[in-house]
Amino acid sequence: MPLRFTIRQLEYLVAVGDAGSIAEAAGRINVSSPSISTAISQLEAEFGVQLFVRKHAKGLSLTPGGQRIYNKARHVLDSAASLHDLAGEISDKARGPINVGCFVTLAPLISAALRRSFTAEYPDATVTLCEAHHSDLLSKLRRAEIDVAITYDLEIPKDVGFEPLADLPPYIMVSANHPLAGKDAVYLEELQDDSFILLDLPMSRDYFLAMFYNAGIRPKVTDRTSDTSVVRSLVANGMGYSLINARTRTDMAPDGQKLAYLRLLGDHAPINIGLATMEADHKSRILQAFEDHARAKISTDFVIGMSAGPNDGRL
């Protein structure tokens, strides 16, 4: 008997089951809500089973029958995904889809360059990128929405594996017109009376503020923002200084004003970026290939798309 439903429809079913609403599922998998609604209706007509019930103000929940079909659909999708691994083993090539998450401050700098170099090496691979905060990346890993996350080694839970790749030391970022801009390196104490612009992100915020605490300094925080581009523009326009680990390869802020990066002297711990994945006995061939590629492109001496050190000028 020919099948009258598709793998894509099953993917939409599982996405709604995981998200609890069509709108949320649409956002996660980048598909329009009407397309998902149509797919769900078609599956219900094909199976003769109501898959979801609407709970007031709580979105959708699976019916008992819908839960059983959801479980089987996940199994079918897992089996379908394993065909890519089998094809890779037969052809000795990594192929198929891989979903990569990246920490929000790193994503604009490295994710596109890493995707470009990976697909150049593995043309049969399909890479989907997303950016998120650290805790959201961990949640996406647990829900199998992403296969791997490029993030920092901040509060990694026991069920998540983390492979460190690069140590990124903290730098002082000032305007090119700042009195200290011509220096190669400074102590935090030299700027303690200046206005400080804080990158106000969970965990990142604590990491930066701890530097002041450990040095016995109280920073003069005048601006807070969760957007690194805004931090760079405020600093470049002389509104204050900031601390940063993810250095760009250009000395210009988004608005064209110039910046200067100074090495931070003193006993300040670097932050480590690496690969986070769910602990598992088996990794797909495409995931192994991506991890190998990331190791070659991200290290303490060189980070693709970034300036990892004062003498790093490679593109």
Taking only the tens place, the pLDDT of each residue in 163-203 is 999 999 999 999 999 999 999 999 999 999 999 999 998 88
Helix axes 64-91, 285-297, angle to 10 degrees: 60
Residues of the chain with CATH 1.10.10.10: 7-86
Does residue 109 register a pLDDT over 60?
A: yes
Residues of the chain with CATH 3.40.190.10: 93-167+272-297, 170-269
- Taking the domain 7-86, which CATH number applies? 1.10.10.10
Record the pTM. 0.70
CA separation, residue 281 to residues 161, 277, 278 (Å): 12, 12, 10
pLDDT at 1: 52
Taking only the tens place, the pLDDT of each residue in 30-68 is 888 888 999 899 898 888 889 998 876 667 888 999 899
**Under CATH, which architecture does the 170-269 domain have?**
3-Layer(aba) Sandwich (3.40)
Residue located via tokens 């940063």: 244
Taking only the tens place, the pLDDT of each residue in 110-127 is 999 999 999 999 998 999
Ramachandran angles phi, psi of 133, nearest 5°: -70, 165
pLDDT at 294: 95
pLDDT at 246: 87
Confidence of residue 312 (pLDDT cuts 50, 70, 90): very low
Q: CA quadruple 271, 272, 276, 279: dihedral positive or negative? A: negative
Does residue 311 register a pLDDT over 60?
A: no
Is residue 62 within 8 Å of residue 52, measured between CB atoms? Answer: yes
Does residue 230 register a pLDDT over 70?
A: yes
pLDDT at 188: 94
For 178, the 3-state DSSP assignment is coil
93-167+272-297 classified as CATH 3.40.190.10: yes
More confident residue, 59 or 134: 134
